[in-house]
Structure 1
Amino acid sequence: MEPLARRTLLRSGLLVAATAVAGPALLTGCGSGEESPARSDGKPRRGGTLRAAFTGAGAGETLNHFVGGTALDMVRARALHATLGDLDPSAPDGVRYGVLETIEVNGELSAYTLRLRRGLTFSDGSALTARDVLWSLRSPAEDPASLPVYKNPAATFDFAGARVENDHTLVLPTLAPVADGRLLLCQGNYLVVKENSDFSPEVATSGPFRLEEFVPGEGCALVRNEEFTHPELSDAPYLDGLELRSLPDSEARAAALTGGQVDFAHDLSPVTARTLGEDERFTLTSTSPPYVSGLFFRMNLAHEPFRDNRVRTAFKLAADREAMVESVFFGDATVGNDLLSPGFPDYADEIEQRPFDPDRARRLLREAGAEGMRVTLTTGPETPGMVEVATLYVENLVAVGVDATLEELPAGQLFADYPAYTRLPLAASFSVPTPALPLYQMSYGGQNPAALGWDRPDVDELVATARGTSGEESARAGLAAQRALWEEGNTIAPVFKPFTTAHVPGISGVAEDLFEQFPGFSRATLS
């Protein structure tokens, strides 16, 4: 298809979707086109273009996923760039490798050797080498604009001491002994970008698709990367093309689905999902723990009242978690306990559930001299439920005597200026499914900006011990670290929600990409 025709297709589809949102109800149009016959031999059918809608960042969207924090940024990046690996609890090492053949760790847990699969190339035919892997891991740490999640490998591995032994072997020394380096590197979001990439539309890519068209704020058109070699399936990807639409609102994504402009709508709100669940034309799927997202609020310790742990505890006790689960998610969510990563083996489920106790919250605020304190909670519709849960939480705070207000930013803007985000007194966020100990390193350890002032070297040391040992010693240290976070931390995590998607019949292979919160399409088929 010619670029102009594809651009017209993108824009016309988005225009129809936007028009649908303006209407009084979801469209009930003609579906998503004719179905193609399935292969009689049972093998996945090749061909077709799958159209999918995700939350984007509007006109400010970029192909540089190191600075893009929306679902669309990650899904687009995973389609264009091959992963090091994904978390897979059923696999021997707890991971499913992508460009890597294996990761070996020495007996002292002081060095990890990454061995690449042979014969990997970029879309321009050039070889994918260990130098590209090293650049992809190291460069975000050197760019102040990169999101903290991409800087985290630099907090575990000594990139200055890294050795490229040959095109297929990279040795990464650790800054301190760690046993979970495989889990850290293979989270599905560490991707291989060509060395010294400028992220222009012309840059060669290593993933299952290559870019044909990119219109910031509207979407992108991708086609099969014929140079891609799937780690397990010799003939994947199966799709001819993939169109990713940027639609920030859940209703807009649902309207595009019901109106026939897309085949797959990601991360739907509870109300939208309930409506679509009654429509037999579509299939809904929801994730379950540990593949759920925590909706949480972080108190900035640079804000004077939050330096007092009595205030932090009061803010935690003020949250009516059950009401949030029932009123926002119709019961299809899980009450949180102010710790992230529920469902993963290293999560401290021994810690008692924090109750809803507004009376004690009021007493603690009085004792701390913080009655009537003013605070603004800043949120945005980065994932469905964020604004609604934040709204209820502000009501909870007002009920215990806090002069609390809500500021809602447009979709895609909450994390757009990350330095400004880290200065907010009370900031909303959401988590992606990650084991607890690597997540601490990603979001708290070493004065991480994402921690909003949390600086506890003693807890960092506990996490380092847990990550650098095994058995009972690791478990004791991990529990102690999470107990400290629960008792003294600056995070209120009242709700964990599933990722709910809807799609037309005949789509398969999406869940098999493992990274369910940000779907991949390397195995997807249309029938």
Structure 2
Amino acid sequence: MPTNFVLARAAHGTLGDIDPNAPDGVRYRLAETIELAPDLSSYTIRLRAGERFTDGSPVTAQDVAYSLPRALAKNPTYAELFGGFDLANARVDGDRTLVIPTKQPFSDGRALLCSGTAFIVKDGTKEFTVRTPSCGPFRLIAFEPGRGAQLVAHDGFGTAAGNGGPYLDGVEINWITDPDARLNALRGGQVDFAHDLSPVGARTLEGDPRLRIAHTVPPDVYGLYFQLNMAMPPFTDVRVRQAIKLAIDREAMLETVLYGRGMIGNDMLCVGFREYASEIEQRPYDPGRARALLREAGVEGFATTLLTGPESAGMIEIAQLFAEQMRAVGIIVTVEQKPRGQLLADFEAYAAAPIVGGVFPGIPLVVLYLAVFAAGNPFAKGWNRPDVDSVVARGRASRSSDEARRALVSAQRELWESGNLIVPLFKPVLSGQVPGLTGIKDGLFETHPSFLEASLR
């Protein structure tokens, strides 16, 4: 798992977490409520009373006003994600209220503000060390880059009713990049919880009375995906993109890569959320039609490169099987493997790659579209459809959830028919743990657990 992000979730507070089953679509944390103006012209964040940083100072609206633009500056790829908020004109109204105007009306701001990308830090924070005040469920007391971190429970978190946790006295996070090494550490008693095991590794735990396997369910699943570079021939031709999608034997991938633990994808992410377009027909496995489309496009027998890395268990295996299945329709794919954690380190190489293979956690469609596809985002790899952007914007501007969903389903169909995203599989996160460990799934966003609700008997 992206260990730095897990550490950040443990140490830093958020306004809330996305929860499709909650009334507002989010489970509030530092925020008590996030209110929309009737005309969608602003969002009002009201903080819980009593929340504190680890130095004892209160969490205030001014801290939130400082943190949101800082998060955007630190990660410019989220410019579209927060671009609808007029952060420059946000108004602090007392210690616990922040009013953020919108640049145009949209109704999904709660999900954006609680998408897990904006951690709340103390006003004026410039760097993070073990001495930096934080307001998450745990307080960092030791950190060694590349090896791990130690945290203790933060008594100032959850002092307001309703937060729940932390229940553990502390957490030690170990950087163990290899899934087999994580499994061995669990078996050897060095750790109580081993996250994101390989499917074959998880199988070896079955029947071991000392340990148990936990697996996530939608929306907390990983989408294993491939993305074609639409700015680069032959992927500029929609027939080639469609051919590759038809040439994938998803059933074989599910059984070979995930040993049946998972579900077949339909070239769309965000499964498990209300807006997921489940009504779109499942794309079939049709290598004959794929070869015919390649002939029509005049690109039979071409060679290309797939760039990927072991960011999550199964990614290398699915890339290798993808290359094998493409060979059956005359496409020669060379798999280029980056070391773990390096797939996006050289973004120029990533952006220039003909095909990339990656993994995406479960997030709402609007968050995905704004962060990856809107307005010619570099992550879109050549997808630049202002007409689809407009459809998404129309859905976002509606206060009717049914109308919003219709617009988002329409956008998904365009991506499904002519886009460059291929999602053959969704895989649960398979974790091994001691029997007395409970509550991790209650913390939401299980693909990057915060251990907030975890307890150990």
Query: TM-score scaled by structure 1?
Result: 0.83
1:326-365 mapped onto 2 (5 Å cutoff) = 326-365=255-294
Question: How far, CA to CA, are the matches of 2:96 and 2:79 in structure 1?
Answer: 23
Greater mean deviation of Cα atoms: 325-334 or 134-143: 134-143
Could you report, residue by residue, the CA deviation over 1:160-184 in whole angstroms, capped at 9, with x for unpaired residues?
A: 2222223211112223211111122
| CA displacement at 1:509 relative to structure 2 | 2.0
Question: How far, CA to CA, are the matches of 2:439 and 2:272 in structure 1?
Answer: 24
Aligned mate of 2:301, from 352, 372, 391: 372
| CA displacement at 1:189 relative to structure 2 | 4.1
| CA displacement at 1:135 relative to structure 2 | 2.7
| CA displacement at 1:208 relative to structure 2 | 1.3
Question: How far, CA to CA, are the matches of 1:235 and 1:375 in structure 2?
Answer: 51
Aligned mate of 1:498, from 428, 442, 445: 428
Letter of the 2:431 counterpart: T
Letter of the 1:197 counterpart: K
Question: How far, CA to CA, are the matches of 1:252 and 1:212 in structure 2?
Answer: 25
| CA displacement at 1:233 relative to structure 2 | 5.7
Alignment of 1:110 with 2:38, yes or no, is: no
| CA displacement at 1:234 relative to structure 2 | 7.8
| CA displacement at 1:427 relative to structure 2 | 0.8
Q: How many residues align?
A: 455
The secondary structure found in structure 1 opposite 2:374 is coil
The secondary structure found in structure 1 opposite 2:375 is coil
Alignment of 1:484 with 2:414, yes or no, is: yes
Aligned equivalent of 2:14? 83
RMSD: 1.8
Question: How far, CA to CA, are the matches of 1:473 and 1:185 in structure 2?
Answer: 22
Question: How far, CA to CA, are the matches of 2:119 and 2:274 in structure 1?
Answer: 25
The secondary structure found in structure 2 opposite 1:359 is helix
Aligned equivalent of 2:154? 225
The secondary structure found in structure 2 opposite 1:310 is helix
Alignment of 1:411 with 2:346, yes or no, is: no
Report if aligned partners of 1:81, 1:192 keep a CA contact under 8 Å in 2.
yes
Aligned equivalent of 1:8? none
Letter of the 1:81 counterpart: H
| CA displacement at 1:367 relative to structure 2 | 1.7
Check 1:495–1:147 CA distance in 2 against 1; reply closer, same or farther (3 A cut). farther
Aligned equivalent of 2:252? 323
Letter of the 1:473 counterpart: E
Report if aligned partners of 1:230, 1:237 keep a CA contact under 8 Å in 2.
no
Greater mean deviation of Cα atoms: 312-321 or 361-370: 361-370
Aligned equivalent of 1:297? 226
1:150-229 mapped onto 2 (5 Å cutoff) = 150-195=78-123, 196-229=125-158
Question: How far, CA to CA, are the matches of 1:303 and 1:432 in structure 2?
Answer: 27
Question: How far, CA to CA, are the matches of 1:153 and 1:167 in structure 2?
Answer: 26
Question: How far, CA to CA, are the matches of 2:312 and 2:116 in structure 1?
Answer: 19
1:230-309 mapped onto 2 (5 Å cutoff) = 230-232=159-161, 236-309=165-238
Could you report, residue by residue, the CA deviation over 1:415-436 in whole angstroms, capped at 9, with x for unpaired residues?
A: 2233432222211111111122
Check 1:374–1:82 CA distance in 2 against 1; reply closer, same or farther (3 A cut). same
Check 1:234–1:184 CA distance in 2 against 1; reply closer, same or farther (3 A cut). closer
Report if aligned partners of 1:250, 1:269 keep a CA contact under 8 Å in 2.
yes
Report if aligned partners of 1:78, 1:189 keep a CA contact under 8 Å in 2.
no
Q: Which runs of 5+ in 1 are unaligned?
A: 1-54, 56-69
Question: How far, CA to CA, are the matches of 2:177 and 2:296 in structure 1?
Answer: 43
Check 1:472–1:118 CA distance in 2 against 1; reply closer, same or farther (3 A cut). closer
Question: How far, CA to CA, are the matches of 1:231 and 1:261 in structure 2?
Answer: 35
The secondary structure found in structure 2 opposite 1:445 is helix
The secondary structure found in structure 2 opposite 1:296 is strand
Could you report, residue by residue, the CA deviation over 1:153-208 in whole angstroms, capped at 9, with x for unpaired residues?
A: 42231222222223211112223211111122223443212233312332111111
Could you report, residue by residue, the CA deviation over 1:385-422 in whole angstroms, capped at 9, with x for unpaired residues?
A: 11111111011112111121101111111122334322
Q: Which runs of 5+ in 2 are unaligned?
A: none
The secondary structure found in structure 2 opposite 1:437 is helix
Alignment of 1:138 with 2:69, yes or no, is: yes
